[in-house]
Amino acid sequence: MSLFVNVTLNGIANGMIFAALALALVLVFRATRIVNFAQGAMGMMTTFIASSLLGRGVGYWWAFLAVLVIGFVLGALVERVLIRPLQGKSELNPVIVTIGLLVVLEGIAGTIYGNSSRGFPAAYSQSGLTLGHTKIAFSHFDVFILVAVLVLMTATLVLFRATSLGLRMRASAFAGEISRLLGVRVGLLLTLGWALAGVAGSLSGLLVAPTSSFGPYYMDLVLVYAFTAAVIGGLESPVGALIGGLITGLSISYVGGYLGSGLQPLGALVLLMVALMARPEGIFARPPARRV
């Protein structure tokens, strides 16, 4: 019984992290109809920068903030330099380019920082909380993860639902040509979508690093789990990313707890295949309309 509780709590904490990265994928997909397979690697890169800053004696929260800003800039830069030239070409081209960016970033991180996994500090204690007399597998840091991701989700929802900037972003993603005619600076807003995704990706990188073997490849699996989460949620909806993240996090955690951690990616593969077979448009997406 206690195994079940702990596995569930662990699944929720992981699910929140997957939700953050899934949100990044959703932001990019909403803006440009592209899945950014380098999103995890971008988070990895910014977390390595954070690690360097911490090594030079910068305070944790300053480094945290700096890295979110760097993530913003990196996201915007990638969209402008690599993705913009591909506009109007086959949908496979951006997939291939983001995969290229993924391995370039991993190669750069590996060359600079080496392969050996180094530790990355957590903002708060990682030992479990005590409820009554029993110690549970949910630490102060897990509480921080929960709060940070919920703040991120709320901010995104407020941006899209309650501000005119969010409305313009939705309009330029939904009908770019018409928005441009109405005076919306579509190009700039697509870049903004990528930049915000960069922030969410950086946050997920910072949250994963303390609990994983922090090295050039530590975001690979997180990325595919987040992709699974985003697909379950429909690749379009921030709320879907959150729900999908929790479903994925819990499933992975149960597979790991009862069958062994080596089978976790296979569990995610089965989950993704079931989700794609049963409801390819996701739980929260509008009914699909196909343009002939």
Partner 1 sequence: MSPPGTSRSWGDRAPWVRGLRLPTQPLVRHLLLALCGAGLLYAITSSLSPYNDFEVGEIALYVIALAGLSLLTGSNGQISLGHGAFMAVGAYSAALLMTHTHLNFLIELVAAIGAAGLLGLVIGIPATRLKGPYLAGLTLLLALALPPIADKWSSTFGGDQGLTTTTPSAPGTINPEEWLAWIQIIGALITLVLLANLLRSRFGRSFRAVRDDEIAASLAGIHVARTKVIAFVISAACAGLAGAFLGLSTGVVNTGEFPLTLSIQLLAAMVLGGTGTLMGMWWGAILLVYLPQWSTSLSGDFSLGSGASAYLATIIFGVVLIVVMIAAPTGIQGGLRWAWRRLWSLRPGTGDGMSKISRPA
Residue 132 in tokens: 């009554």
Q: Does 268 bind partner 1 (CB under 8 A)?
A: yes
Stretch that binds partner 1, among 99-107, 118-126, 133-141, 199-207 (CB under 8 A): 99-107
Of the candidate spans 67-75, 172-180, 194-202, 227-235, the one that interacts with partner 1 by CB under 8 A turns out to be 227-235
Does 290 help bind partner 1 (rule: CB under 8 A)? Answer: yes
CB nearer partner 1, residue 131 or residue 270 = 270
213 binds partner 1 (CB under 8 A): no
Q: Which of 220, 239, 250, 283 binds partner 1 (CB under 8 A)?
A: 220
> Binding mask 231-250 vs partner 1 (x if CB under 8 A, - otherwise)?
x-------------------
Contact with partner 1 (CB under 8 A): which of 63, 97, 169, 209? 97
Of the two residues 102 and 247, which places its CB atom closer to partner 1 in the complex? 102
HEC string for the chain: CHHHHHHHHHHHHHHHHHHHHHHHHHHHHHHHCCCCCCHHHHHHHHHHHHHHHHHCCCCHHHHHHHHHHHHHHHHHHHHHHHHHHHCCCCCHHHHHHHHHHHHHHHHHHHHHHCCCCCCCCCCCCCCEEEECCEEEEEEHHHHHHHHHHHHHHHHHHHHHHHCHHHHHHHHHHHCHHHHHHCCCCHHHHHHHHHHHHHHHHHHHHHHHHHHCCCCCCCCHHHHHHHHHHHHHHCCCCHHHHHHHHHHHHHHHHHHHHHHCHHHHHHHHHHHHHHHHHHCCCCCCCCCCCCCC
Site string for partner 1, 133-162 (x = CB under 8 A): ------------------------------
By CB under 8 A, residue 110 contacts partner 1: yes
Q: Which is nearer to partner 1, 70 or 231 (CB)?
A: 231
Contact between 228 and partner 1 per CB under 8 A: yes
Task: Give min distance, CB of 156 to partner 1, in A.
Answer: 21
Query: Which of 227, 238, 245, 284 is the binder for partner 1 (CB under 8 A)?
Result: 227
Which two tokens mark 50? 């954070």
Which of 4, 65, 87, 107 is close enough to bind partner 1 by CB under 8 A? Answer: 107
* Count of residues that interact with partner 1, criterion CB under 8 A: 52
110 and 228 Cβ atoms separated by less than 8 Å: no
CB of 140 to partner 1, least distance (A): 31
**Contact set for partner 1, span 11-70 (CB under 8 A):** 29, 34-35, 37
Q: Which is nearer to partner 1, 55 or 100 (CB)?
A: 100
Structure tokens at 136: 């549970």
Cβ–Cβ < 8 Å for 118, 51: yes
Question: Which residues of the shown chain bind partner 1 in the complex (CB under 8 A)?
Answer: 29, 34-35, 37, 82, 85-86, 89-93, 95-97, 99-108, 110-111, 114-115, 216-217, 220-221, 224, 227-228, 231, 260, 262-266, 268-269, 272-273, 276-277, 280, 290, 292
